[in-house]
Structures are given as structure tokens and as C-alpha cells.
Amino acid sequence: MKILFLSDIHGNYPALTAVERHARSQGGYDLAIHCGDATVYAPFPNEVLDWLRQHARVSLLGNTDLKVRKLLRGKPFKKPSSMEKRVMYTKTADQLSEANRNYLVELPQQEELEIGGLLFGCFHGSPDAFDEHLFADTSTMRFQELAGKTQAEVILCGHSHTPFHKKIKNKHFINAGSVGRMFDGSPDACYAMIYLNEGRLTVRHHRVAYDVEEVVNELARQLLPPIYAEMFRQGRKLN
């Protein structure tokens, strides 16, 4: 069993298609899981949501998706206060198709499912908080606390855009990194492939180059703030 584990696509369809091509070149996958933040910052939200509707067994709501959902429901939000960020959220909400609006507003914040005899818990941040950032160097004590907050044996998370795999108290914590918006100085997409074989779990993280200029050109065509073009080119969080 091979699980294509994705998170934090952030509207970056060119990165997503590059990841899918790479995964298929490595032998394909049996199911796909996405741990939230499908939308905002790159200008292809419809294409990303179309792909998730077709391919993802699990697709979660992320914090950027939550703000878009508020806009779709006619609710204001106080954050982000930055006008550049607010433009990105508003543009995303305005261009979504009806099918994708309906899909986004129904996304769950977490989900559990059994795969290959193991219970998977899927979260955007952590089992404790929707917006918690987990990193490879988060304290062992914190991971132990989180292990006690879910029955899941495999805990999948995103949000921090930082790939890792840790085993704590016989539980696996796996972060896929970010498909669409890495912050480590490389613009390359990041994802994880999870392999299950008779109860044994292994993980491989991959970095994949994609056509960043396709994103940059579409940002310019939509007259979106230029800081985001530099963000994607540099692979840095500039906002």
C-alpha cells in the first residue's frame, strides 16, 4: 500500500501536477491524503480543488481555507490585517466555481481512517490544535502529550511546511512539508510517500522542481501583489 501524502498546496497547481508526475514515475500510489491549506497565495485554487475532489481520499480544511470559507459565507475576518494578504483571500473566494465552493465549505478539520490495519489520524496542525506548528525539533515531551490525545497510530499533519517523520511512544508523526509553498530557501515542491507492508510503515520525503514562472506569470496576469512572485521564486516566507 502506497499513500501519497500531501499538505499545504496553497493554490499551486503547477507544483501539484509536478508532484503527481513524480509520484507516478516512482510507481504510483493507492490513495491520496491532503492535510489542508489547498487554497490562497498561488493563483490556481480551482484547479487544485478540482484535483482534490477527484483524487483525494481525505482532504482537510486548513487555516487559509477557513478564512476563504468565512468569505464565502459572508462573514468578515479580522486577520490577516495586511492588505496584500487580504487581496489574496478575496481573489481566491471570488474566483471559485460553485462546485469548489460547495466542496470547500464541507471540508472537515480532522479525520480518522484505517489503512492497512493501522489507524491514521489526519490533522492540519496537531491532534490538540488546528493551527499548532509542529517541527522536527519540537520537544519530545510535546510529541508525547500529543500522542496521548488521539487513538491514531499514525498522525499526519501539515501547517508548519516542514517535512519530518518521528516515532514517539510507538506512534508515527509525519509532516508532508508543503507542496506549494516551502520556506527553506528552495522553491521545489515537497511531499511524502508512505509505504505500508504487513503492518510495517516507512516514509520517504521528496523534493520536486516545477515551473515557478508559470505561477509568477499568472500572479501578474491577475494583478496580484508582486511580493508573492518573489516568495515563490525564493522559496521564502516574505509576507
CB atoms within 10 A of CB 233: 14
Q: How confident is the model at residue 199 (pLDDT cuts 50, 70, 90)?
A: confident
The percentage of residues in the chain with a pLDDT greater than 90, rounded to a whole number, is: 94
Q: What confidence tier does 82 reach under pLDDT thresholds 50, 70, 90?
A: confident
Q: What is the CA radius of gyration of the chain?
A: 17
Grid cell of 168 as nine digits: 514517539
User: Is it the case that residue 79 has pLDDT exceeding 90?
Assistant: no
Question: Residues for the chain: how many in total?
Answer: 239
Within 10 angstroms of residue 117's Cβ, the number of other Cβ atoms is: 10
CA of residue 115 relative to chain centroid, distance: 20
CATH 3.40.50.150 is right for the domain spanning 2-234: no
Per-domain residue ranges of the chain: 2-234
Taken in order 164, 213, 88, 49, the sign of the CA dihedral is: negative
